[in-house]
Structure 1
Amino acid sequence: MRTLLEVELDTETANRLITDGTLPKVMGGLMETLKPEAAYFYARDGQRCATFVVDLADEAGIPSLCEPFWLQLSARVKVHPCMNAEELSTGLGRLGRASF
């Protein structure tokens, strides 16, 4: 299941990891584990943020998806199932007019 993961890093934790030089290693490890389809890093409302698009086998994978960000980065995490345009088209095709 394609999943959008929004991550907002805790400023104090991120500052410490940047200062001691470990943030690149932590993020590299997370990227290696997640193997995201896409990854974006940006500032939002004055906070360091990232968005990842990952493949999640099922809902039981949510804890292993989120825990590393909570434990290593004290991050806020939002998880959203999502789809690409082709998947949306397939889903809409399944609706049929009789559904309404």
Structure 2
Amino acid sequence: MRMLVNVRIPHEPFNTYVRDGSIAERIPRVLAESKPEAVYFTEQSGHRGAVLIVNVESASHIPALAEPWFLQFNADCEFRIVMSSEDLQKAGLAEIGAQWK
């Protein structure tokens, strides 16, 4: 199943990693573990942030996605199941709507 991972990264320890140069190794290492379909870095409420789209086979894979961000960056992570337009077309909304008239 496809999941959106929203990551909010506090200034520290990230600033320290930028200053000492270790960020160049840390970010690729975390991304290599999560194998995102897509990743975007952005600002979130005045902090650094990242938005990843990943595939997970089961909920038991969520800790493997979250812990690197928690442990490396003291980040906050939010997880949302997402659908493509093709997924939504397969959802049977007309049938569901008819059932709940």
Give the TM-score normalised by the residue count of structure 2: 0.90
Tell me what 1:80 maps to.
80
> Given the superposition, is the C-alpha separation of residues 22 and 72 from structure 1 closer, same or farther in structure 2, using an over 3 Å criterion?
same
Checking the alignment, whether the CA contact within 8 Å between 2:5 and 2:78 is kept in structure 1 is yes
Whole-Å Cα distance in 2 between the matches of residues 14 and 88 of structure 1? Answer: 38
Whole-Å Cα distance in 2 between the matches of residues 62 and 94 of structure 1? Answer: 32
Whole-Å Cα distance in 2 between the matches of residues 44 and 96 of structure 1? Answer: 36
3-state SS of the aligned residue for 2:83?
coil
Tell me what 2:69 maps to.
69
Task: Provide runs of 4+ in structure 1 moved above 4 Å.
Answer: none
Tell me what 2:98 maps to.
97
Structure 1, unpaired ranges of 5+: none
Checking the alignment, whether the CA contact within 8 Å between 2:4 and 2:80 is kept in structure 1 is yes
Once the two structures are superposed, the pairs formed by residues 28-67 of structure 1 within 5 Å of their partners are 28-67=28-67
Tell me what 2:8 maps to.
8
Shift of residue 93, structure 1, vs aligned partner: 5.3
User: Is residue 2:18 matched to residue 1:18?
Assistant: yes
Structure 1 window deviating more from structure 2 (86-95 vs 57-66): it is 86-95
Provide the aligned length of Structure 1 versus Structure 2: 100
Whole-Å Cα distance in 1 between the matches of residues 44 and 97 of structure 2? Answer: 39
Shift of residue 63, structure 1, vs aligned partner: 1.0
Give the TM-score normalised by the residue count of structure 1: 0.91
Whole-Å Cα distance in 2 between the matches of residues 96 and 42 of structure 1? Answer: 37
Shift of residue 21, structure 1, vs aligned partner: 0.7
Question: How much identity, in percent, do the aligned residues show?
Answer: 31
Structure 2, unpaired ranges of 5+: none
Shift of residue 94, structure 1, vs aligned partner: 5.7
